[in-house]
Amino acid sequence: MTMNTRNHRALLAGAVALASLLAAGPAGAAPITTSNLAESMDQTNWAAWQATSFTTDADFYLLDNVKLKLSLFEDGGTNQVFIYDDENGHPGSLLPNGELSGSFVGWPNVSTYTPTGDVSLAPNTTYWVINLSTLWSGGPEPHIFWHLTASSAQSGPWGIGTYAFGPDGDTWTDIPGYAGMFSVSATPVSDVPEPATLTLAGLAMLGALLRPRRRR
């Protein structure tokens, strides 16, 4: 076997391995969680739309889940949980795939809500967790309300910000010194070309190696 043949076979094996690895994508990093669920419950607010902000660190992430500490005012209602971007210090617009799936499970448990598609979170960016509840027919109170804490303590690498409420999702009023009680978990991802793009590059290398070689 000639040296050129050995080199060609070695490169061929390397190209196959590269294409396989690139198709699988980069190895996943450990998820992170930021939470204030361990703090004291200090307040409730009777509004249909309730929101608390959080700010990411210097990495890119995909959202895994959000957990909220909720209570039931009256049977017969439902709630929805969303992720919005920030606009001038208040909730702005719904993120792609930002309507989360889940349901209220009852006090004292926390209720978990998960995305049905990728929710991408950019570095050093503020987002809002929103709890929207149906209203009790006998008054303005929500069926399902979000507990608030006056504690600024938290665990995890992100910052938990302010709490706001409103009647319709467009008009917001702040309650300084309080935050909704929740946790947010996400998995870091690399800011690299899409895996499909990298796979094509590996396959192109493979194709070049498989081309018939001209005899000299």
Mean pLDDT of 51-60: 98
Residues 47 and 133 placed together within one structural domain of the fold:
yes
**Same structural domain for residues 12 and 66?**
no
Mean pLDDT is highest, among 23-27, 140-144, 188-192, 202-206, for: 188-192
Q: Copy the structure tokens of residue 173.
A: 């009023």
Average pLDDT over residues 62-66: 98
Question: Which residues contact residue 192 at a Cβ distance below 8 angstroms, ignoring those fewer than 6 apart?
Answer: 26, 198
Query: The tokens 């194709």 sit on which residue?
Result: 207
Q: Measured in whole angstroms, how far is the alpha carbon of residue 205 from the centre of its chain?
A: 35
| Closest to 116 in 3D by CA, of 97, 135, 89 | 97
Q: Mention every residue, 6+ apart, whose C-beta is less than 8 A from residue 212.
A: none
Q: Extract the tokens encoding 193.
A: 């070309």
Q: Which phi and psi angles does 199 have, rounded to 5°?
A: -65, -40
Round to whole Å and give the CA distance between 29 and 153: 26
pLDDT band at 48 (very low <50, low <70, confident <90, very high): confident
Same domain, 107 and 92: yes
Strands 144-149 and 32-35: unpaired
Cα-Cα end-to-end distance for the chain: 17
Residue 77 included in any domain: yes
Mean pLDDT of the chain: 81
Helix (H, G, I), strand (E, B) or coil at 216: coil
Q: Are residues 206 and 150 in the same domain?
A: no
Tell me what pLDDT residue 74 has.
64
**How many other C-beta atoms are found inside a 10 Å radius of the C-beta of residue 210?**
11
Query: Whole-angstrom Cα distance, residue 100 to residue 109?
Result: 18
pLDDT of res. 215: 47
Among candidate residues 115, 147, 120, the one with its CA nearest the CA of residue 131: 147
What's the pLDDT tens digit per position in 147-206? 999 999 999 999 999 999 998 899 999 999 999 999 999 999 985 444 454 455 555 555
Tell me the residue range of the domain where 199 lies. 3-26+194-210
Instruction: Please check whether residues 182 and 206 belong to one and the same domain.
Output: no
* pLDDT at site 141: 65
**CA nearest 81: which of 98, 62, 61?**
98
One domain, residues 19 and 99: no
Residues 48 and 154 in one domain: yes
Q: Which two tokens stand for residue 178?
A: 């309080």
pLDDT for the residue numbered 45: 82
Instruction: Look at residue 21 and tell me whether its pLDDT is greater than 60.
Output: no
Residue 73 in domain:
yes
Asked if residue 111 and residue 71 are part of one domain, the reply reads yes
Per DSSP, 84 falls in state: E
Quick check: is 165 in a domain?
yes
Looking at the predicted structure, is the pLDDT value of residue 13 above 90? no
75: domain CATH number is 2.60.120.820
Strands 144-149 and 43-44: antiparallel
Question: Would residue 216 count as lying in a domain?
Answer: no
Q: Are residues 141 and 168 in the same domain?
A: yes
Q: Are 95 and 83 in contact (CB under 8 A)?
A: yes
Look at the chain and report how many structural domains it folds into: 2
Is the domain of 115 the same as that of 37? yes
Instruction: Report which secondary-structure segment, H or E, holds 204.
Output: helix 195-210
128 shares its domain with 22: no
121 occurs within a structural domain: yes
Asked if residue 107 and residue 17 are part of one domain, the reply reads: no
